[in-house]
Amino acid sequence: MRFDRLLATILIVICLVAALGNWLMGSSFQASERSKASVDIALIDVYGSISDSANSSLFGGAEGANATTLLEGIRQARQDKVKAILLRINSPGGTAAAAQSVYTELMRARKETKIKIVASLGDLTASGGYYVASAANHIVANPSTLTGSIGVIMHTQNISPLLDKLGVQSGSIQSGRFKDYFI
Catalytic annotation, residues:
127, 179
What distances in angstroms separate CA 23 from CA 13, 67, 81, 101, one per listed residue?
15, 20, 34, 27
How far is it, in rounded angstroms, from Cα 81 to Cα 68?
A: 20
Please return the burial class of 131, using the count of CB atoms within 10 Å of its CB with bins 0-12, 13-18 and 19+.
Answer: buried
Q: For residues 127 and 92, is the Cβ–Cβ distance under 8 A?
A: yes
Q: Which amino acid is at 36?
A: K
How many CA atoms lie less than 13 Å away from 8 in the CB half-sphere?
5
